[in-house]
Structure 1
């Protein structure tokens, strides 16, 4: 399945709502620490983990605080991660790790 960027405002708001529900976003701020703590579950391959952590930090610096609308912040952050996953040749995150 291809991972498409959020292009419409509604898609970006959906990403914001999902991020809030998962605890990755509060207001207009991405909870970077929460994402970093989740990374070992998303990327169980220890060789990929440093790249995944680097990606979170880079995307945080590149997108958070640039937009005043949390929907746009969430959309930009998600699109940044999608782009960097490709650039860094990371596998796609395991969104639903087994318990």
Structure 2
């Protein structure tokens, strides 16, 4: 951010978050969840998926499945760590896939 628009004081430079809409016709079922976990485990960052205030560990398939996310549900993906931005974008791409 610029000097005129400083980064908020509570936000760590290694944190990133973005909202994604579930594009999978059947929602986040086992196949996309498996893909999310596989890609999430390739990052060092801590990855959290949030739906309606419920949080799920992005590296735990059961945790993600427990969010019960049908198509078009909005999911907030949050990551903390050195590769947080890349992690959020990679997980988000799977969530938004149109299949």
TM-score range, shorter chain: 0.3 to 0.5
Higher relative strand content? 2
Higher relative helix content? 1
Q: TM-score, normalised by structure 2?
A: 0.38
Higher-RCO chain (CA-CA 8 Å, sequence separation at least 6): 2
Q: TM-score, normalised by structure 1?
A: 0.38
